[in-house]
Amino acid sequence: MSRFRTAAPWLVAVLLTLALAAFQRLTGPTHPIRGRFELQGREHAYRLPRSHGGPAGLEVRVSVPPEVTGTLLWRRYPTDGDWQGLPMSPSPRGLGAEIPHQPPAGKVEYRLVLEDAGRRVMVPSGRSVVARFKGKVPAAALIPHILAMFTGMLVATRALLAAVVPGSKPAHRSVLVAAMLMAVGGLVLGPIVQRHAFGAYWTGWPLGEDLTDTKTLVAILAWLPATAFALRRRTSRVAVVIGWTVMMGIFLIPHSRWGSQLDWESHPAAVREAPSDPRQ
């Protein structure tokens, strides 16, 4: 029974942290868009990417019968430029085309026009898909960053349970460990990842409007009062509860929403614009 009482808070903390992480991932603006469309009297599923890292172009593919042809329409985002048309080529992995590589933080919007026997289908049927390009982030920087941030969330959740559950062990050690992990993950490794991905170490407040950087800073500041008590080997239940609530509320904001975005006016060497495609 004593072992269960010791392990139970950690189990609750793990489950809660995983649930928050899954919610953030599934609702984020870089998560692929999924849906279905009807063609030849059958439904087909699609999965369209909204993020791309590395030097290559963004490959977009959809699984359709071999007799179906298609065109990928794209343009830089946000602009009112004309749409570029790329013919989609068949392969064992489906019908696809590749949007040319763009500078880090550059966004494009795209949509697919699929045709068969005179029938034309737009995918997706509503708004076009917005995708952001980024530089290649080394695994040596990205993996420690992710581990530090989510382990920090886990330990902070454990500190919350220790602070609010009667008879629990003092929470000050967990508060300090969470603060250290968040500082290393968010203020050291985070800027390194940002530099590789978008060419700048910090683009949040007060230097810019990147929400990912800004929310990391707010979360760490919200945890500071609890950290100050913990440094004196004390636990403030109010400080831990408020700090955790603000921190988790901040992290529930989908990752990369209102993130780094290239100003296309600062990159005049745009891809040659083609005439507007009437299929838009």
First to last CA, the chain: 65
| Confidence tier at 193 by pLDDT (50, 70, 90) | very high
What's the rounded mean pLDDT across residues 269-277? Answer: 41
In this predicted structure, what is the pLDDT of residue 269? 52
In this predicted structure, what is the pLDDT of residue 129? 95
What's the rounded mean pLDDT across residues 217-233? Answer: 94
Peptide bond into 78 cis (omega under 30): yes
The yes-or-no verdict on residue 4 having pLDDT over 50 is no
> Quick one: which of 180, 172, 123 has its CA closest to 151?
180
Q: Of 40-54, 111-125, 141-155, 259-273, which range is least confident?
A: 259-273
What's the rounded mean pLDDT across residues 234-242? Answer: 92
Distance between CA atoms of 108 and 74, rounded to whole angstroms? 7
Strand 129-134 and strand 51-53: the pairing is parallel
Q: How far is CA 218 from CA 17, 144, 155, in A?
A: 19, 21, 18
Q: Which CATH architecture has domain 33-136?
A: Sandwich (2.60)
CA 54 from centre of chain = 16
Higher pLDDT, 265 or 72: 72
Which residue intervals of 89-189 are DSSP H helices?
139-164, 172-183
Distance between CA atoms of 39 and 49, rounded to whole angstroms? 21
In this predicted structure, what is the pLDDT of residue 167? 65
Higher pLDDT, 157 or 170: 157
Distance between CA atoms of 208 and 214, rounded to whole angstroms? 9
The single-letter code of the amino acid at 65 is P
* Contact residues for 60 (Cβ-Cβ < 8 A; gap 6+): 48, 49, 72, 96, 97, 98, 99, 110, 112
In this predicted structure, what is the pLDDT of residue 42? 86
What's the rounded mean pLDDT across residues 41-58? Answer: 91
Q: How far is CA 56 from CA 72, 91, 203, 271, in A?
A: 17, 18, 24, 16
Mean pLDDT (the chain, rounded): 85
Token pair in block for residue 110? 């795209």
Distance between CA atoms of 102 and 75, rounded to whole angstroms? 11
Rg (CA), the chain: 23
Strand 51-53 and strand 58-62: the pairing is unpaired
Instruction: Please count the other Cβ atoms lying within 10 Å of the Cβ belonging to residue 260.
Output: 24
Instruction: Please count the other Cβ atoms lying within 10 Å of the Cβ belonging to residue 246.
Output: 15
Locate the domains of the chain by residue range.
Answer: 2-28+137-251, 33-136
Model pLDDT for residues 7-27, shown as the tens digit of each residue: 677 888 899 888 887 877 777
In this predicted structure, what is the pLDDT of residue 3? 55
In this predicted structure, what is the pLDDT of residue 96? 95
